[in-house]
Amino acid sequence: MPDDDKIKKVRGDTLNTWLKYIHKKWGVNGEQTILKKLKRPNGYKDKDFYPMTEYEELLQWVRIEHGEEHLFQGGKFIVANYGLLGWFFRFLSIKLFLDKIPKSMKEFFNFGHAEVVILDDNHIQIRIYEICTTHDVCKVIVGSCTGALEMTKTPGTMTETKCVHDGEDFCEFTFKGE
């Protein structure tokens, strides 16, 4: 068994925000179903870290039971409802939001990192290293970035342009402004 500090982990408030999305979409029954599946009857503590495998299992459940579109929609929900951070994002420009991505990723996960590459005012890339452990995580990131565009009233689109699951060294998400 690996040392506890080497296990990939996600913060509890990320999981709890997903539980809020599940509760909103599928009620108490949906929330209880996933908590039972994850063997977490009491849920998660916001500031504690939990195995990434639980996050992956939660996302897989959402995709299989309710469809891939809910990974994208859930990602948008997370940006808008991630406690004080969600409130704060409403007042940022997209560039300030993007500046915060590397630090935020370090706070949400105990592994991997992110970098932002500004090509020009209308083309920005976010490169994620190690965090996209499944395609489901990639879909959530596209949704989260799209949610940030909406919250900051920034016209444009966010698409995944590279993926580790297709043999790339990192996942890349590209913003194209309008």
Same domain? For 67 and 109 the reply is: no
Same domain? For 124 and 164 the reply is: yes
- Domain with 57, as residue range(s), is 4-80
| Domain assignment of residue 158, yes or no | yes
Which CATH number goes with the domain that contains 169? Answer: 3.90.1520.10
Same domain? For 108 and 152 the reply is: yes
Q: What is the pLDDT confidence band of residue 176, given thresholds at 50, 70 and 90? A: very high
| Average of per-residue pLDDT across 25-53 | 96
| Domain assignment of residue 17, yes or no | yes
Same domain? For 70 and 130 the reply is: no
| Domain assignment of residue 64, yes or no | yes
Burial, 59: exposed, middle or buried (Cβ in 10 Å; 0-12, 13-18, 19+)? buried
Q: Virtual CA dihedral for 124, 79, 135, 173, nearest 10 degrees? A: 0
Same domain? For 101 and 172 the reply is: yes
Total of domains in the chain: 2
| Average of per-residue pLDDT across 40-53 | 96
The phi-psi region of residue 154 (left if phi > 0; otherwise alpha if psi is between -120 and 50; otherwise beta) is: beta
Per-residue pLDDT tens over the stretch 107-142: 889 999 999 999 998 899 999 999 999 999 999 999
Per-residue pLDDT tens over the stretch 56-109: 999 999 999 999 999 999 999 998 887 555 556 555 677 777 888 888 888 889
